[in-house]
Structures are given as C-alpha cells and as structure tokens.
Amino acid sequence: MAHAVRALWPHGRAVAWRLGDRPALGLHAHSRAGFTRAAGGSGPAATARKGGPRLLGAAALALGGALGLYHTARWHLRAQDLRAERSAAQLSLSSRLQLTLYQYKTCPFCSKVRAFLDFHALPYQVVEVNPVRRAEIKFSSYRKVPIVMAQEGESLQQLNDSSVIISALKTYLVSGQPLADIITYYPPMKAVNDQGKEVTEFCNKYWLMLDEKEAQRMYGGKEARTEEMKWRQWADDWLVHIISPNVYRTPAEALASFDYIVKEGNFGTVEGAMAKYVGAAAMYFISKRLKRRHHLRDDVREDLYEAANKWVAAVGKDRPFMGGQKPNLADLAVYGVLRVMEGLEAFDDLMRHTHIQPWYLRVEKAIAEAPQ
C-alpha cells in the first residue's frame, strides 16, 4: 500500500497541473490577441465576445485545481485509513494468538525466533528446556528446540524449526490466514545428512505464503523477496556454524561460554557444575571437529570477521537495514544469531574488528522500540 500511496500522490498533483497550467497559458495568449485586435478598432462588441473564453478559461483553471486538490487529499486520507486498518488488523491477529516458546536461551536458532517475536511485539511465554533431560518437551516427537506452541481459539498448533516458525507467523500476520492452514505449507521431510544421520527438513521454510498483492505490499518487488530469502538461508547454513568454533576457540573461552550457559539455562546445582566443566571440555574438542567439517581457517576469528563484513556489504551504505527503513526477516535472523555471543570474547572481537556494530545497534534499537 505504501507503494500505491506513492504512486497515487504524484498522480493527484499531476491532475492539478494538467488542468491548471494549460488554461493559464491559453488565457495569456488570448489576452494578448484580444489586445492587438482592440488596438485595430474591433470595438466593444469584440471585447465582449472575448470575455466569454476568458471566463471559461478561468473557470476551468479553478475547477481543475480544485479537482486535483480533492483527489490528492482523498487518496492521502484513504491511504492513512488503510494503514490504520492494517495496523489494527495486525494487532487483532496477534492478540488472538497465545504463544509458548520452548528454548535454550543461548541457542542461536532460539535467539532468532525471540528477535522476530520481540520486533513484531508478539507476546509469548518462555519455557527453558533442560538440555540434558529435555523433560519439558517430552510431549513432542520432534526433539529439537525451538518449538512454538500456538493457541488460536480452540486450535493448538505446534511449530518446529526456527525458520518455519518465523515464516509461518509472518505469513499469519500479513495474510490473516488460519495458522492451522499455514503450517500445512511447510511439510516435514525426512532426509539423511552427510554423516549418515536421519534428519528432518522442512519444505518452503524461507518462503512466505502470500498472494501477489500481499507480496507486493510487503516487498515492493521480487528482488527484495529473493534477497531476504537468500540471506535468511545464509544465516542458517553458514553463520550459525561459525559461532561454536569461535565461542569455544580456546579452553578459557569454552569455560567462559559454559559459565554463561549454566547461568542462563535450566540446570540443577550439581548438574550445572558438571555441565560447566565437562561440557566446556567436550565443546572445546567438538569445536575443532566442527572447524574441520565446515572447512574453517585455523584462526576461526577470520571466518567470523569475513562473514560479518560480507553481511554489512550486502546491506550497503544507502539503507539502514537490508529491509530498507526497518529490519526484514534477514536482518532479524542475522542479529539473532550474533546476539548469543554477547558478553563473550568472540563478540567483543567481532565488534572491534569489523564494520558490523552500527547495523547491529540499529537492529537492537528497533527491537527495543517495538510497541509492547
């Protein structure tokens, strides 16, 4: 609709100019011709006859200007009404949902979902899952987090996979389709990964299920939609996988990371102490294996810096966010992934040695200022 308003507003002004300028030029020409003929002795009758076109021209000028202003004001007010209607409709939709997020707070995929929910001011409850026992999600055959349980009236839906959760909820907010229908667009599919392990993948998970008008209103063009999808997938397929090797890069960093995980996670006292030291040692060695699997450099910080600067270059200098004047789903995904490193040495190094900090702070501010 914003694009429609921009198209209609100049159109209203153009009506005023088309109906207004030409009669004014015509009047000027007629006046000069009448003056010449009067000097030649045409007399009072000729002058009276010329008065008719002048009056008609003046009337056309006034009418054209009035019509132009009327149409401009009408479209402008209609655009404001439509924006207000959409905001009210979105608020009504979000208020009909009761969301519960099952998560590990330090999981980058869970952090992505929280960034999305917070930016869109969707109220939700959090259940912190114990990463060892996972008793909190024993109701689910899907054993990973995040999981979102969404209550819409009498309908209770389970949403799995961070990107599916985000795509389904954004589709719901934009289109107003029943959530039970939307989740059928993202069917799970069993596959075997490179390690021979069976995994669950989801079809269409970066795609919003919108009709042509809704997609045009949201993106403005196919390029913006394709760009958002490309970088959302990049965040999942690449950025996420360089986080662990960086936060567990050295024994000291691994211990600091697990100290943070234990403080933020759902651990008992003894379990937390075991997790801190045993987990830190285990993840230090696992991170080395991850580094080889993903073909990272010996100094994994270089991969982190390169990824951050690649993202900043993709956003560019002419817009504050990849989404333009406000974060889109790719902005929120990249921010959510990076946010899990806050307070750790890897995060401080990232802010110090790359150009990502201004963008990162803008997203942080946009989320903080979202209406609650």
CA 170 from chain centre, in angstroms, equals: 9
Asked if 107 is an active-site residue, the reply is yes
- Residue 239: C-alpha distances to residues 78, 200, 246, 304 (Å): 43, 20, 11, 8
* 121 touches 115 (CB < 8 A): no
102, 107, 219, 360: which one is catalytic? 107
102, 110, 219, 258: which one is catalytic? 110
35, 70, 102, 104: which one is catalytic? 104
35, 70, 109, 203: which one is catalytic? 109
- Residue 330: C-alpha distances to residues 108, 114, 123, 333 (Å): 14, 14, 21, 5
Asked if 109 is an active-site residue, the reply is yes
**CA pair distance 251, 257, nearest whole angstrom:** 10
> Quick one: tokens of 50?
């010329």
Beta bridge partners of 101: 126, 148
* CA angle, residues 72, 77, 80, in degrees to nearest 5: 130
> Quick one: tokens of 329?
């789903």
122, amino acid identity = L
CA 123 from chain centre, in angstroms, equals: 18
Beta bridge partners of 126: 101
Catalytic amino acids?
104, 107, 109-110
